[in-house]
Chain A
Amino acid sequence: MMSQPTNPHHVPHAGTELYDVRRDELVVEPAPVEVAPLKQGVFKRLVHRFSVLGLIGLLMVAFWLLVAFIGPLVAPYKGGALTSTEIFGRYSAAYPLGTDYLGRDMLSRILYGARYTVGLALAAAVLASVIGTFFGLLAAVSGRVVDEILSRLFDALISIPSKVLALVVIAAFGSSIPMLTTVAAAAYIPGAFRISRSLAVNVMSLEYVQVARARGEGIFYIARVEVLPNMIHPMLADFGLRFVFIVLLLSGLSFLGLGVQPPNADWGSLVRENIGGLSEGAPAVLMPAIAIATLTIGMNLLIDNLRRRSRKHGGA
């Protein structure tokens, strides 16, 4: 694993890319240059405010997001192409991350898989957080009846174990990308609802909301202008956590064979299909696991930093 021969001519991207993850952890400075042009002002400020650990997390997440977008373009081989006769191959110049149980290039598999893992999880996490926050706010600003109905409804949903629910739904309706997204989002909406409702209820009791009510404002104005900006930071932190859980849920489903269907594969499926190579210490099972780990760890570092910041600034 350490003796990685980098042949710049043959696989220019592969070597740098895996290196990048590692190098980011050590060298923090050069990296922002390649991300910063996206959103100059906001980004610069963010970078300034983050601690070293938060910055590392940010870079890891940004790296995988980038891979999700351009992964297939830079992959050395087509996603499902059989390219080698050697199964569970070791690291080599042609196959930097070895080959899988059918002799496919592992690097390409991971690059293609990033789209499913990151994209699907992101979509599901955004859905879960937005829907959960919306209903949480609605419950907090409306009267007691609406609040009771919504809360009990989501309580009922919470009482169903999310993994079992996902298994049942997918077993019944079959696995497809929209179905997976919906199931993952549905599993995490009640949690987002609970958190956003309790945050909103706290903000609602503050005097500036009372002033707005006495002014005669409608509940949607109060929810949008007075309450939402003051709970957005904790909700963002919560979003990050949920994203990680969804990655893990999807990886778990894929591991059980209910996730993304072959020949496509997200990282969880990659681990499952190559599990036979575990006893040989094949990179084919190690590498997707590392990919999952770096994404979740990166996200967590980022969140921890966000949370600390929002606590310090009191939502300002």
Chain B
Amino acid sequence: MAERDMIEVKGLRVVAGAAPGPVTEIVKGVDFSVKKGEVLALIGESGSGKTTIALSLLGYARAGCAISGGSVRVGEVEVLSLDAKGRRALRARTVAYVAQSASAGFNPARTIMDQVIEPALLHRLMSKEAASAKAIGLFRSLALPAPETIGERYPHQVSGGQLQRLMAAMALITDPAVVVFDEPTTALDVTTQIEVLAAFKKVIRELGTTAVYVSHDLAVVAQMADRIVVLNGGAVKENGAVAQVLDAPVDAYTRQLLAATRRPEAVLTLPQNLGKHVPPLLEIRGLSAGYGRIDRQGAPAVRVLDDVSLSIPRGSTLGVIGESGSGKTTLARVVAGLVDRARGEVLFNGEPLNAQISRRTPEQYRQIQIVFQNADTALNPSHSIADILGRPLAFYHHLRGSAAKKRMLDLLDLVKLPASIATRTPAGLSGGQKQRVNLARALAAEPALILCDEVTSALDTVVGAAILDLLAELRRELGVSYMFISHDISTVRAICDEVIVLYAGHRVEAGQREVLAAPPYHPYTGLLVDSVPALKPGWLDARRDIVATALPAMGESADIAELCSFRARCPVRIDGKCNVTPPSLKKLPSGAEILCHHPAAELNRLQTVEATPA
């Protein structure tokens, strides 16, 4: 009996739609099993049925879906044969669930502690005092700051990564035999993701919990799981140990997934030098911008960008990297004219670009196009694809009738979409198709510069890789320039010639793409680079030792706005320097410019030591 698997799923089938209407099978006979104390990863793109399968472990099917066949056994319980009361008991003690969005999972009106211990109190498993004591223990294991008092706070008073860990504490409070993690780090920044993953891994190991980890990110899964089940279209493509799936994949789909993750760096033909006198396509000097009321000095109440400078030569691609809140999207919006700037100059083709969008020339409108991250909200749901693409053609090029139709079909062809989708509305397209339409709309203007705001972030790995290939191809064929905004270093590396790194609105580093490849770099760039999970098991464990080291002590900061914005998190900060004097611009041997007090040689020494832990 002891050797029996903890979870056993056999021939699981889930259908969408009720019996009289059309029924679609979304999970087509899935088998897998998980041993006690093992972590199994379910991996696949959206629509592959991974979340549906994970939820069936709780005996739950989302509204509109029904479990139509197969068996699910957790421990000694046949989950699918339980009645409503039995399922409630199952969810109380045996299986717990950690959802993707922790901010949506917490009630903002109650303290965290109340909510973390709620499952235990609701099912009368322990007293309030015992549950609170246990929760504090869990907070400590999850490496949360101030474990004794964090429970007294409200959800909006902790960060996203902390909230995700608190959600795990909520799931673990009842000592469940199995925990289901449903994409728990997908919505987080890379630097935060690392902390959360490390905390999850530690607590799973300490408690010996059996876990099912749902993700679309192979590199993350490689750190967390013992075994991987690769899903596609509701069926199991491959099921094996992590090392086997990563190193010797059997299935063609797994190989495709791996190829999309391990993108080779694109061989970029550096933009031909058109002579020194040609001004760059876009040049920004000392830009400051923000939101809210403008004060007497002309600075907005909330400063999002502070003294940012950059330039994009014609035909090249600039990557803008930073975590959420670093001001990257605002940067694109300022260039597009959607956000007013407080200070600084924006030159387009050597001519100043008016801050007010209404005062720009039609030619400037046409040459700068913006592509937003979320194609769901970037396409008007009440227009057909033909209308969406037809408008810029009519607006900029005065194309109508058959000429417009021909051009529209050309555009669809350019982004590799079939002509037949022209009559559909965005609701009838998949995420990747919508993003292509989104791109095609920008291309319809025949722009010189496309501002790409996280265009691949909302897409699956394979689809995202295809969009990146498309962008590179369009650039070769049409000679457009991109400002490519992303939080994902590997994406930026794959497509960009030059890179700037933003932190809290400051440009902390700027240089060629190669600056991301090896130290020395700005301490924040270093943190970003080190936080991208590598596609090999054990990477996280090696990395954790580095994270664990405490930050050097630093005294009170002087009241100067220009101080290094990264000093609060910097692992190599210097007391008496970083908190007193603003950093000056330094040039590294690689040609990159950074804002830091450390000389290049010193950074190189520090970061090389970091990368190879003893």
Footprint of B on A, CB under 8 Å? 206-208, 210-211, 213-217, 225-226, 229-230, 314-316
A213 touches B395 (CB 8 A): no
Are B338 and A229 in contact, with the CB atoms below 8 A? Answer: no
Distance, CA A208 to CA B371, complexed state (A): 10
Considering the complex of A and B, which 7 residue pairs feature the smallest CB-CB distances, nearest first? A216-B365, A229-B382, A207-B378, A207-B372, A214-B336, A208-B380, A207-B377
Using A215-B445, A217-B395 as known contacts, say yes or no to A315 and B381 having CB atoms under 8 A apart. Answer: yes
How many interface contacts (CB-CB < 8 Å) are there between A and B? Answer: 59
Partner of B357, one of A211, A214, A315: A214
Instruction: Identify the interface centre among A210, A214, A229: most chain B CB within 10 Å of its CB.
Output: A214
Given contacts A208-B380, A230-B382, contact A216 B427 (CB under 8 A): no
User: A230–B360 contact, CB under 8 A?
Assistant: no
A residues in contact with B391, CB < 8 Å = 215, 225
A277 to chain B, nearest CB (A): 51
Given A210-B370, A211-B372, A216-B362, A230 and B392 touching (CB < 8 A)? no
Q: A226-B380, A229-B382 are in contact. Are A214 and B337 (CB under 8 A)?
A: yes
B residues within 8 A CB of A213?
337-338, 357
Is the beta-carbon distance between A215 and B338 smaller than 8 angstroms? Answer: no
A-contacting residues, B360-382, CB 8 Å: 360, 362, 365-366, 368-370, 372, 374, 377-382
CA distance A207 to B365 in the complex (A): 17
B441 within 8 A of A: yes
> What are some 18 contacts across the A-B interface (CB < 8 A)?
A206-B377, A207-B372, A207-B374, A208-B379, A210-B372, A211-B370, A211-B441, A213-B338, A214-B337, A214-B365, A214-B368, A214-B370, A215-B365, A225-B391, A229-B383, A315-B381, A316-B382, A316-B427
Per the 8 Å Cβ criterion, residues 321-353 of B in contact with A are: 333, 336-338
| Complex CA–CA separation, A55 to B500 (angstroms) | 60
Question: Given the complex, which residues of B lie within 8 Å of A225, measured CB to CB?
Answer: 383, 391
* Closest residue on chain A to residue B360 by CB atoms: A216
B383 to chain A: which residues have CB within 8 Å? 225, 229
B425 contacts partner chain A, Cβ-Cβ < 8 Å: yes
Nearest A residue to B441, CB-CB: A211
In Å, the complex CA distance between A314 and B366 comes to 31
The residue in A210, A215, A226 that gathers the most chain B C-beta atoms within 10 A of its C-beta is A215
Q: Which residues of B contact A229 (CB under 8 A)?
A: 380, 382-383
Known: A208-B379, A226-B380, A316-B381. A214 touches B427 (CB 8 A): no
In the complex, chain A residues whose CB is within 8 Å of the CB of B395: 215-217
Specify the chain A residue showing the minimal Cβ separation from B357: A213
Residues of chain A within 8 A of B381, CB atoms compared = 230, 314-316
CB distance from B160 to the nearest CB of A (A): 22
Distance of B387 from chain A, by nearest CB (Å) = 9
Set of chain A residues within 8 Å of B338, measured between Cβ atoms: 210, 213-214
- Given contact pairs A207-B372, A211-B378, A229-B382, enumerate 12 new A-B contacts (beta carbons under 8 Å): A208-B378, A210-B370, A210-B372, A211-B441, A214-B338, A214-B357, A215-B392, A216-B366, A225-B383, A225-B391, A314-B381, A315-B382
Complex CA–CA separation, A314 to B362 (angstroms) = 33
- Distance of A314 Cα from B380 Cα, bound (Å): 11
**What residues on B are CB-neighbors of A211 within 8 Å?**
370, 372, 378, 441
Of the listed residues B370, B378, B382, B445, the one surrounded by the most CB atoms of chain A closer than 10 A to its CB is B382
Tell me, rounded to whole Å, the shortest Cβ–Cβ distance linking B367 to chain A.
11
In whole angstroms, what is the CA distance A135 to B383 when docked?
24
A206 to B373, CA, bound (A): 12
List the B side residues contacting A216 at CB < 8 Å: 357, 360, 362, 365-366, 395
Chain B min CB distance to A211 (Å): 6
**Could you say which residues of chain B place their CB within 8 Å of the CB of A217?**
395
Taken together as a complex, chains A and B put the C-alpha atoms of A210 and B382 apart, in Å, by 16
Partner of B369, one of A206, A207, A214, A314: A214
CB distance from B375 to the nearest CB of A (A): 9
